[in-house]
Amino acid sequence: MPGTTEMMVILLIAVLLFGANKIPKLARSTGEAMGEFQKGRTEVEQELEEMKEGGSDTATEETADTTTETSTTEETSSESSKSSN
């Protein structure tokens, strides 16, 4: 963590580079950018969580659908072989 002297030097350099009028605008735009970044990160984390939760539900549903289709196919095959005899 920089001390008081280092912070004063950094502030002085910032004033010389950007001018006293532009520093509040620069700070505001930096804050807005950080807010947007945090918002985007939160949205991505939520989407990943939803995909993780939805992925396990989808896998279970697909397994159930496959089981139902297999049972239906077996029943149809049994009925076809009975009617052939």
Other C-beta atoms lying within 10 Å of the C-beta of residue 49: 10
Is pTM, for the whole model, over 0.75? no
What pLDDT is stored for residue 46 in this prediction?
Answer: 95
What pLDDT is stored for residue 69 in this prediction?
Answer: 54
H/E stretch holding 63 reads helix 22-84
Q: How far apart are CA 77 and CA 79, in angstroms?
A: 5
**8 Å CB contact between 2 and 10:** yes
Sign of CA dihedral 76, 78, 82, 84: positive
What pLDDT is stored for residue 24 in this prediction?
Answer: 87
For the chain, which residues make up each domain, given as ranges?
18-60
Q: How far apart are CA 38 and CA 60, in angstroms?
A: 34
Question: What is the mean pLDDT, run by run of 10 residues, along the chain of 85 residues?
Answer: 85 86 88 95 95 71 54 52 52
| Six-digit token string for 37 | 């970044």
